Amino acid sequence: MKDLSKVRNIGISAHIDSGKTTLTERILFYTQRIHAIHEVRGKDGVGAKMDSMELERERGITICSAATYCDWKDHSINIIDTPGHVDFTIEVERALRVLDGAVLILCSVGGVQSQSITVNRQMTRYRVPRVAFINKCDRTGANPDKVIKQLREKLGLNAVPIQVPMGLEGDMQGLIDLVKMKAVYFDGENGDKIRIEEIPAKYKEECDIKREEMLDAVSMFSDELMEAVLEGTPTEEMIMAAIRKGTLSLEFSPVMMGSAYKNKGVQLLLDAVNDYLPCPTDVENFALDLDHDEAEVKVTNQPGDPLLALAFKLEDGRYGQLTYVRTYQGTLKKGDSIVNVRTGKKAKVGRLVRMHSDEMEEIEESGSGDIVALFGIDCASGDTFTRGDYNFSMSSMHVPEPVISLSITPVDNKAQDNMSKALNRFTKEDPTFKTYVDQETLETIISGMGELHLDVYVERMKREYKAEVTVGAPQVAYRETITQRAEFNYTHKKQTGGSGQFGRVAGYIEPLEEGEYEFVDQIVGGSVPREYIPSCDKGFQKCLEKGSLVGAHVTGVRCAINDGASHAVDSSDIAFQLAAMGGFKEAYMKAKPVIMEPIMKVAVEGPTEFQGSIMGSLNQRRGMIIGTNEEDAYTVIEAEVPLSEMFGYSTDLRSLTQGKAEFTMEFATYRPVPKSVAEELISKAQKKDKK
Task: Give 78 or 611: the residue with its C-beta nearer to other proteins.
Answer: 611
Least distance (Å) between residue 629 CB and other proteins: 5
Q: Residue 315: what residue type?
A: E
Query: Distance (Å, rounded) from C-alpha 60 to C-alpha 216?
Result: 42
Task: Give 158 or 391: the residue with its C-beta nearer to other proteins.
Answer: 158
Least distance (Å) between residue 559 CB and other proteins: 22
Query: Distance (Å, rounded) from C-alpha 50 to C-alpha 60?
Result: 11
Task: Give 472 or 672: the residue with its C-beta nearer to other proteins.
Answer: 672
Spacing of C-alpha 563 from chain mean position: 47
Task: Decide: 288 and 299 in contact? Cβ < 8 Å.
Answer: no
The alpha carbons of the chain give a radius of gyration, in whole angstroms, of 29
Task: Give 146 or 553: the residue with its C-beta nearer to other proteins.
Answer: 146
Task: Give 412 or 632: the residue with its C-beta nearer to other proteins.
Answer: 632
Least distance (Å) between residue 149 CB and other proteins: 8
Among 58, 75, 79, 76, which Cα is nearest to 67's? 79
Task: Give 373 or 600: the residue with its C-beta nearer to other proteins.
Answer: 600
Least distance (Å) between residue 165 CB and other proteins: 23
Query: Distance (Å, rounded) from C-alpha 198 to C-alpha 215?
Result: 20
Least distance (Å) between residue 45 CB and other proteins: 43
Task: Give 675 or 691: the residue with its C-beta nearer to other proteins.
Answer: 675
Least distance (Å) between residue 630 CB and other proteins: 5
Least distance (Å) between residue 665 CB and other proteins: 15
Task: Give 106 or 207: the residue with its C-beta nearer to other proteins.
Answer: 106
Task: Decide: 282 and 159 in contact? Cβ < 8 Å.
Answer: no
Q: How many chain residues interact with other proteins (CB under 8 A)?
A: 20
Least distance (Å) between residue 434 CB and other proteins: 29
Residue 395 binds other proteins, judged by CB under 8 A: no
How does DSSP assign 111-167, residue by residue? BS-HHHHHHHHHHHHTT--EEEEEE-TTSTT--HHHHHHHHHHHH---EEESEEEES
Least distance (Å) between residue 615 CB and other proteins: 5
Residue 205 C-beta-side C-alpha neighbours within 13 Å: 1
Least distance (Å) between residue 635 CB and other proteins: 9
Q: What are phi and psi of 20, to 5 degrees?
A: -60, -50
Query: Distance (Å, rounded) from C-alpha 357 to C-alpha 66?
Result: 6
562 to 591, contacts with other proteins by CB under 8 A?
A: none
Among 257, 250, 246, which Cα is nearest to 120's? 250
Query: Distance (Å, rounded) from C-alpha 258 to C-alpha 454?
Result: 35
Least distance (Å) between residue 681 CB and other proteins: 18
671 to 690, contacts with other proteins by CB under 8 A?
A: 671-672
Question: ∠597-602-608 over CA atoms, to 5°?
Answer: 145
Q: In Å, how far are 16, 616, 629, 637, 658 from 114, measured between CA atoms?
A: 10, 21, 12, 11, 20
Least distance (Å) between residue 383 CB and other proteins: 35
Task: Give 574 or 594: the residue with its C-beta nearer to other proteins.
Answer: 594
Antiparallel, parallel or unpaired: β 365-366 and 332-333: antiparallel
Least distance (Å) between residue 619 CB and other proteins: 6
Least distance (Å) between residue 153 CB and other proteins: 7
Task: Give 46 or 633: the residue with its C-beta nearer to other proteins.
Answer: 633
3-state helix, strand, coil in the chain (%, to 5): 30, 35, 35
Least distance (Å) between residue 613 CB and other proteins: 8
The 601-640 site mask, x for binding other proteins (CB under 8 A), equals ----------xxx-xx--x----xxxxxxxxx-----x--
Task: Decide: 227 and 262 in contact? Cβ < 8 Å.
Answer: no
Task: Give 152 or 553: the residue with its C-beta nearer to other proteins.
Answer: 152
Computed from CA positions of residues 297, 299, 304, 308, in that sequence, does the dihedral angle turn out positive or negative?
Answer: positive
DSSP 86: G
Among 355, 469, 368, which Cα is nearest to 412's? 469
Task: Give 117 or 458: the residue with its C-beta nearer to other proteins.
Answer: 117
Query: Distance (Å, rounded) from C-alpha 8 to C-alpha 70?
Result: 10
Task: Give 114 or 301: the residue with its C-beta nearer to other proteins.
Answer: 114
Greatest Cα pair distance in the chain: 104
- Give the total residue count for the chain: 691
Query: Distance (Å, rounded) from C-alpha 452 to C-alpha 631?
Result: 28
241 to 300, contacts with other proteins by CB under 8 A?
A: none
Query: Distance (Å, rounded) from C-alpha 476 to C-alpha 550?
Result: 12
Among 406, 408, 410, which Cα is nearest to 467's? 410
Query: Hey, which residues does 679 pair with through a beta bridge?
Result: none
Task: Give 126 or 634: the residue with its C-beta nearer to other proteins.
Answer: 634
Query: Distance (Å, rounded) from C-alpha 106 to C-alpha 687?
Result: 51
DSSP 24: H
Task: Give 134 or 637: the residue with its C-beta nearer to other proteins.
Answer: 637
Task: Decide: 141 and 111 in contact? Cβ < 8 Å.
Answer: no
Task: Give 114 or 340: the residue with its C-beta nearer to other proteins.
Answer: 114
Query: Hey, which residues does 340 pair with through a beta bridge?
Result: 385
**DSSP run (H or E) holding 652:** helix 649-656
List strand residue ranges (DSSP E) for 512-623, in order. 517-521, 553-554, 557-565, 593-607
Antiparallel, parallel or unpaired: β 159-161 and 163-166: unpaired
The 422-461 site mask, x for binding other proteins (CB under 8 A), equals ----------------------------------------
Task: Give 122 or 611: the residue with its C-beta nearer to other proteins.
Answer: 611
122 to 181, contacts with other proteins by CB under 8 A?
A: 153-154
Least distance (Å) between residue 258 CB and other proteins: 26
Least distance (Å) between residue 517 CB and other proteins: 20
Q: Which spans of this chain sit near other proteins (rule: CB under 8 A)?
A: 153-154, 611-613, 615-616, 619, 624-632, 638, 671-672
